[in-house]
Structures are given as structure tokens and as C-alpha cells.
Amino acid sequence: MISTELKLPCGTILKNRLVKSAMTERISNRKFEPVKGHERLYEDWSNTGAGLLITGNVVIDRKHLESAGNVCFDDEKMLPKLKSWAQAGKKKGNHIWVQISHSGRQTNRFGTSRPLAPSEVQLKKLGLFGKPKAMTKEDIQDVIKGFVKAARLAKEAGFTGVQIHAAHGYLLSQFLSPKTNIRTDQWGGSIENRSRLLITIIQEIRKEVGANFPIAVKLNSADFQKGGFTEEESLEVVKMLDEERIDLLEISGGTYEKLAFFLLNEEGKEVKESTKRREAYFIDFAKKVRAISELPLMITGGFRSYDFCNEVLENGEVDLIGMGRPFITNREDIAKFLKGEIKNLKNLVLRTGMKQFEDSAEGGFYARQLIRFSKGKKLKVTMSPLWCSTFLVIYEFRKAMAKKF
């Protein structure tokens, strides 16, 4: 089943059901443009045979980066470099979609000390994030225009679709959550109002790119925080997305404040062992989505075995299998995995022995691997967990300073 085609509502056909989900590359140049490293990364991933590659965060605003190494789709002058990236990423007949995002309050201090957000609710994590400014109506319109322009540039460059990032605590996710959106105008309050920005962006992008260009959305099942975006609200948003006839819904969860989302339930307590044993972190929520929507559905997180991937596809629980880290640790094995010649992929876990550093150690480890790959180097598993735990902060600072001066 994993090797069968899938036709999307817009008419696009994916050659199989395996997707490389978004992972931040962090390697743009000083002008926020893609570099040869992007071409190298995505050509290698195209060679795996996966039907769809989704890029890491591509931002719409240079002042609101997810990483100092983000590419920003805001200038037609970079189209030649964007075209080279797109061409390299679809060499084997696969699709390559651009994940478009705005970080909002999750923009770190290296980018801006006063990021824009729905409301002035600060992200308090390691002192890395400034107090945000509540967006004006003009700011909101600028964001809508920014998403639309990025989608237009993606299509002009030869990318074959876009994914709107409305999960993981980024700006659109912030608008959806009653914890971070305490506005009293048409953009806040009810779930209909909190969803307005996401739905408006989808509608405006559709007008720009036409009926045959895939538009996907990445959505949280929940924020896993008290007072945050709930499963019930997420299902209400799914109904709205169903009406918009988007082409793919990717289910995820969590924010910067709850990074270990796959081990926590909505109250922040550990999930049952029976849930952990099932590889896909959001498979139970996917069943609830299936009950109310016919949208093509994808889950990312946890998939490692060939048999289980085929099981959930054959049962109709999902339509696409999303993987991130296996495209780093098992990049050379993906082609054989698709054929069933390799049955299980590694689940590499990095541990420092200190709970407060575990998330940053794993994040740093995988970030370093992507940077190595972009330079043509191989996977290196013998890295110090403690050094990896500090890598991202040091790297972000250096990258940000290099771009400012």
C-alpha cells in the first residue's frame, strides 16, 4: 500500500504514500536565499524515492524567523535560486512542496526583541523570546499578503505545492489558541474568529495559485497545555478546512512550551503504554478526523516499521505516512524500505542524562546532521550529547550576527 499512488482533490497524483515531512535546514545565505546545500539535500532526498518532500520552514517575514538560517520567500530576485532548488528536489518524479510559516512570538531575540503576535502573551523559555506586540489590523493584512506572495513565488519557481504551517505554536497556531489569542475583535474570541486568519489565507492563496495547485495545512490536534487549543476545537477547524477543500491535512501537536508532545496528553500527563506502542503518535486523533472529514490525511511522528505503515494505510486510518528523522538517520535505507526489503528503520535517541537538556540535545544533533548533509558529508552518530544541547543557541547567535553585519 505504501507504494501505491494517491490522487489529491486538486487532481495532483503522488506516486507513493511516503512523505519527507518538514525539517528546518538552517543554511540560507545572508540574503535569506537558498544555497547549493538546499539543492544537494533535496536531490539526495529525491533519490530516496519518496513521493513527496516538504521543505523546512520558509518564512514570509525576515524579522520573524524560526531560525536565522531560514529562507524567506519575499523577493522575485531570488527566483533563479528558488528554481534551482525546486528542480533538484523533484528529479525523480516526486513532488516538492514549500512549508510557509510566520513565527510570531516564537521568533527568538536574535531576530527581534518585540515580535508581532495575536496578543501580548510572552513565550517564557530560557529567556530567548521577547515580549510580543499585539498585531494591528494592518499587520494582519500584511501577513495575509505575505503568505499569498510566498505561495505565488513557490509556484513560479516550480515547486509543486505549498503547506501552510498552522501548528507547533507558530503564528497561525497562536491565533487558533485561546491561551495566546486574547483579542476581542474579529480575529479573536470564538473558534470561528480565531480560525479566520488561517481560512482567509487559504482562500486568498487559492485565488492566486488556481484550482490545480496543491494547498496543504499542518494543524495541531491540541497544544497539550491547560487553557490552550483543544482537540474539540481542532475538530471544528478540520470541518472548516473540509469546506475549503484543501488537498492534504497533516496532524501534529504541541508548541515550544511542550516539545515532547508525543509523550503527553492534553493535561500534560504521560500517555498510556498501549498508545506508545503504536508507532504513530496521533493515530487516535486521526480516527476522530476520519469521522467528520474526507480530507486526505497524513500523520508525522513515530513511524518506523514497514508492516505498521502498510497496516494503517490499508485500514484507511491515514492516506500518507510522514517521516522526519528517518530521512536523516536512514536516508540510504528509504528506497529499500519502500520496497519492503528493509522492514524497520532506526529510532536513534540521544540522551544527556539531564532532563532539562534532552530536547535541545536531540534538536542540536539532528540540526548538525542536516548541515553536514548540505555540505556533502555523511551521517555522524558519535556526537557529544552535551555539545549538541548547546549547539542551536550558539549557531543561531552566530548566524544572526553574520546576517546583521
Four-point Cα dihedral 242, 244, 248, 249, nearest 10: -50
**Homologous superfamily, domain 6-347:** Aldolase class I (3.20.20.70)
Are the beta carbons of 221 and 253 closer than 8 angstroms?
yes
146-150 contact pairs (CB < 8 A, 24+): 146/60, 146/61, 146/74, 146/102, 147/60, 147/100, 147/102, 147/201, 147/204, 147/205, 148/201, 148/204, 148/205, 148/208, 149/60, 149/73, 149/74, 150/58, 150/60, 150/73, 150/74, 150/98, 150/100
Are the beta carbons of 105 and 59 closer than 8 angstroms?
no
C-alpha cell at 53: 518532500
CA distance 365 to 380: 9
Question: What residue segments make up the domains of the chain, in order of their start?
Answer: 6-347, 349-405
Instruction: Identify residue 286 by its one-letter amino acid code.
Output: A
β-pair partners for 72: 59
Are the beta carbons of 175 and 229 closer than 8 angstroms?
no
- Global pTM reads 0.94
Are the beta carbons of 194 and 123 closer than 8 angstroms?
no
CA distance 261 to 157: 34
pLDDT at site 26? 96
Q: Write out the chain's pLDDT in tens, 405 residues.
A: 999 999 999 999 999 999 999 999 999 999 999 999 999 999 999 999 999 999 999 999 999 999 999 999 999 999 999 999 999 999 999 999 999 999 999 999 888 999 999 999 999 876 789 999 999 999 999 999 999 999 999 999 999 999 999 999 999 999 999 999 999 999 999 999 999 999 999 999 999 999 999 999 999 998 887 888 999 999 999 999 999 999 999 998 877 766 544 444 434 344 444 444 446 779 999 999 999 999 999 998 889 999 999 999 999 999 999 999 999 999 999 999 999 999 999 877 777 778 777 888 889 999 999 999 999 999 999 999 889 999 988 998 999 999 877
Instruction: Identify residue 91 by its one-letter amino acid code.
Output: K
pLDDT at site 160? 98
C-alpha cell at 123: 513565550
pLDDT at site 222? 86
